[in-house]
Amino acid sequence: MKRFRLYLLAALLIAAFPFIIPNDYFLHLGQDIAILAIGAIGLNILLGFSGQLSLGQTGFFALGAYGSAVLATRLGWPLPLSFAAGLAVASLAGLALGLVALRTRTHYLAMVTLAFGYIVAIVAQRAVGLTGGAMGLLGVPQLNFGNVREGAQIFFWTVAAALLLVQLVSDYIAQSNVGRNLHAIKESESFALTVGINAPVWRAGTFVFGAFTAGLAGCFFAHQSGYVGSDAFGFDRSVSLLIAVVIGGLGRSSGALLGAIIVVLLNQLTAGLYEVAFYIFGSILLAVMLFFPAGAAGALDALVRLVRRQAAGAGADPAPAQAVPALTLAPGAVAPGEPLLVLEGVTKSYAGVVAVNDVSFTVRAGTVHALIGPNGAGKSTLINVVSGLYAANSGSMRFAGTDIAGLPANRRARLGITRTFQNLQLIGTQTVAENVMLGLPPTRGVVGGFFDWLAGGANESAQRERALSLLRFLGIEQFADAMPGDLSYGHRKLCELARALAQSPRLMLLDEPIAGLNEGEVKEIVSVIGRLRQAGVTVLLVEHNMPFVMSVSDTITVLDYGRKIGEGRPEEVRGNPEVVAAYLGKDDE
């Protein structure tokens, strides 16, 4: 309830503001801040959380503004209906552009969205009969609910209330699994898919949210002064939104609001310096990116952490060590020793180069099954095919009796196929505990999670406790609140294992789990794999270290140039002449 009380206090401050400062100038200033902040919050979620750069937010802003203004002015629609229509137009455009965004990335996406913004601006100028062109629409109904005298006050209350709701959603995204999912997609879409995140849906949904907030800001802009002109929707508005996000703190929930406050106040201070205003903004933006990359919100967060550390003191006693818990996972439907994963004739090629050639083998439940072979034998490719990151050209794959050949990676992850990566896939902007929580299956939908979060976050707390128990199982609970980059390589390997365990795996794919580890860390991984087997987890691993493979494996499959050349128990494989020849080379005599 503490969180609910915080937003209630913010609502009371909004209600009291016109009486505390009864001045129309400051009311209009507050309106401008709220309008800019609403649009900037959507861009912050789009860019700061999901990593999608849109330079066409002004296009959605214009669609919202014209959608509502034209219907209210030309057709006499009541404002609630015209508002809804303007939001619908902007959101549908966001959905269409979001579908385009699924096929484009980085600067290509920026160019596409920039072109979209220019197209909307040109149409607004040329469609004179509809938009009024450069002369604009006059007599747009103002949002005052019929009270002209108190119109500025009523408009402020309305737009500030909308800002509070949008900020509420932004805070929920930042502090929940929604934000963790978006950060995962931003840093590695392949990784996101392997933890069960439907990345294309999330990316498109984020684009729609960004378009919705920009359209909402546009609707308020249209009904603020009673006039809408096409010159208000130039590229400079998209730049203002981007500057607000960067100055405030990219990827931080409060960053967009702080940035909007700074930008609007700077606009007021530089109003008489129009010719050099862009130079001033550019210099400030450059200084922030060089010296304060986390923005104003990041600087405030750092200050708060410093104060808390000083208040807590350095002499606190360390937490007592806790016993290592037993690993509890959802029971599998396949009995130990029975076929869990069955591959038949699987082939994968790239531009004519066959990486996996007609490979068949069976992984039995409750066992450790190793894939070995020289470099370039196709081991990692086969792991990627099994996890769903690559699609096989031919062959069949069945997991627990289910045909998975046509399933995407996120669907396979939800069936219980989890993996670690040869190159560690940890989200650097999330703590160790949050990285582990990425693997936990959602227990509530987005809406249910929102109300749970607003009421105090009991579900979020339960998920954190589960993540801590997994870290405790692997002996690294003390690093729960550290960032992955601050850990040793061996501890980061264990963190990735904990994240994979959070997915309640039935089959865990380990791609070179001891690469880069020292002897002590290797022994730790050997112990972990033994405990996984005891917990009923089936393991399919790829590794080059033969002593390690021989010590942990029940069955070994050997690949060479994409073909299976041997399979059996470790002692059988060790004595297989073809396997020995593949590793040591054939005698020419």
pLDDT attached to residue 588: 47
* pTM of structure: 0.86
Beta-sheet pairing, 368-372 with 555-560: parallel
Question: Phi and psi of 105, rounded to 5°?
Answer: -140, 165
CA 457 to chain centroid: 20
- Please name which of 314, 316, 295 lies closest in space to residue 248, comparing C-alpha atoms: 295
User: What domains appear along the chain, each with residue ranges and CATH number?
Assistant: 25-241 (no CATH), 328-416+504-589 (3.40.50.300), 424-503 (no CATH)
Give, as one character, the DSSP assignment of residue 141: P
Q: Which two tokens stand for residue 577?
A: 């002449």
Please state, in angstroms and rounded to a whole number, the distance separating the CA atoms of residues 294 and 248. Answer: 8
Q: 326: buried, middle or exposed (CB in 10 Å: 19+, 13-18, 0-12)?
A: exposed
Please state, in angstroms and rounded to a whole number, the distance separating the CA atoms of residues 523 and 545. Answer: 13
Cα→Cα distances 441→95, 116, 426, 444, 456, Å: 26, 37, 17, 9, 20
β-pair partners for 567: 557
pLDDT attached to residue 312: 59
Q: Which two tokens stand for residue 217?
A: 């800001």
β-pair partners for 341: 363, 399
Which DSSP helix (H) or strand (E) runs through 97?
Answer: helix 79-101
CA 116 to chain centroid: 24
CB 263 within 8 A of CB 240: yes
Cα→Cα distances 525→29, 272, 333, Å: 60, 66, 27
Give, as one character, the DSSP assignment of residue 388: T
Give the start-end residues of each E strand in 222-323. Answer: 227-228
pLDDT attached to residue 455: 81
Helices 57-74/199-222 angle, 10° precision: 50
Q: Which two tokens stand for residue 510?
A: 């380990």
β-pair partners for 346: 359
CB 226 within 8 A of CB 142: yes
pLDDT attached to residue 322: 52
End-to-end CA, the chain = 81
Beta-sheet pairing, 417-419 with 538-542: unpaired
Q: What is the DSSP annotation of 195-227?
A: TT--HHHHHHHHHHHHHHHHHHHHHHHHTTSSE
Residues of the chain with pLDDT under 70: 1-2, 274, 309, 311-333, 584-589
CB 81 within 8 A of CB 71: yes
Q: Categorise residue 408: left if φ over 0, alpha if ψ from -120 to 50, beta otherwise.
A: beta
Please state, in angstroms and rounded to a whole number, the distance separating the CA atoms of residues 255 and 449. Answer: 23
Q: Which two tokens stand for residue 152?
A: 């500025």
Please state, in angstroms and rounded to a whole number, the distance separating the CA atoms of residues 421 and 306. Answer: 36
Please state, in angstroms and rounded to a whole number, the distance separating the CA atoms of residues 110 and 542. Answer: 39
pLDDT attached to residue 315: 44
- CB contact set of 98 (below 8 Å; sequence gap of 6+): 203, 204, 205, 206, 207, 208, 211
Give, as one character, the DSSP assignment of residue 149: T
Please state, in angstroms and rounded to a whole number, the distance separating the CA atoms of residues 232 and 61. Answer: 10
Residue-wise pLDDT for 273-316, tens only, equals 767 777 777 787 788 777 777 788 887 877 777 777 676 554 44
Which DSSP helix (H) or strand (E) runs through 489?
Answer: helix 489-502
Cα torsion for 4, 211, 43, 12, to the nearest 10°?
A: -30
From the DSSP assignment, how many helices (H) and strands (E) are in the chain? 24, 12
